[in-house]
Amino acid sequence: MQKKMEKTNKDVPLKELSERVAEFARVRGWDKYHSPRNLLLALVGEVGEVTEIFQWKGEVARGLPNWSAADKEHLGEELSDVLLYLVRLADVCGVDLGRAALSKILKNATKYPLTPHQQIQP
C-alpha cells in the first residue's frame, strides 16, 4: 500500500528515499530494470534535464530571485529525479550513501586543510 506523504519540518533521511523508490519499482514490476547501468543512464539523463532548465538563462543569482514559481517547481522536480536515481543507484550497488558522503567530507578536509589565514576567520 502506498505510504502517506507526511508534511512535517523533519529532515528526510536518505534511507527513507531509498526505500520508497525501491518500493515504487517493486510494486510496478520494474525492479529488474533497476540495474546499476540503467540507473546510471537514467541519473545522467535527469542531470541533463536540470541542465536544460538553466540553459540560456545566463548567470543566475542564489535563491533564483527572478524565476517564476513554476520554474522553481520544475527545478525541484528534476533535482528530485537526480537524487532519487542517485540513492537508488547507491542502494543497488550496496553503497551506504549517507556514510560514504560523510567519510568523503572528512577525506576532503584532510586533502584541503585550512590555511593559517582561514583558521583565524570566525
Ligand X SMILES: Nc1ccn([C@H]2C[C@H](O)[C@@H](COP(=O)(O)OP(=O)(O)OP(=O)(O)O)O2)c(=O)n1
Judge contact between 39 and 88, C-beta under 8 A.
yes
CB atoms closer than 10 angstroms to residue 18? 21
User: Residue 103 to residues 9, 44, 82, 107, 110: CA-CA distances in angstroms?
Assistant: 26, 24, 21, 6, 11
Decide: is 30 part of the binding site for ligand X (CB under 6 A): yes
The reply on whether position 96 binds ligand X by CB under 6 A is no
Q: What's the distance, CA 65 to chain centroid?
A: 22
21 is a contact residue toward ligand X (CB under 6 A): yes
| By CB under 6 A, residue 31 contacts ligand X | no
Cell numbers describing residue 60:
543566475
Binding string, residues 43-82; x marks residues near ligand X by CB under 6 A = ------x-------------------------------x-
Least CB distance from residue 81 to ligand X, whole Å? 4
Tell which one of 19, 20, 24, 40 touches ligand X (CB under 6 A). 24
Cell (9 digits) for 41: 543512464
- Count other Cβ atoms within 10 Å, centred on residue 15: 13
Nearest distance from C-beta of residue 12 to ligand X, angstroms: 14
Q: Interacting stretch for ligand X, rule CB under 6 A, among 18-26, 57-65, 91-99, 105-113?
A: 18-26
Question: What are the residues binding ligand X (CB under 6 A)?
Answer: 21, 24-25, 30, 33, 49, 81, 84
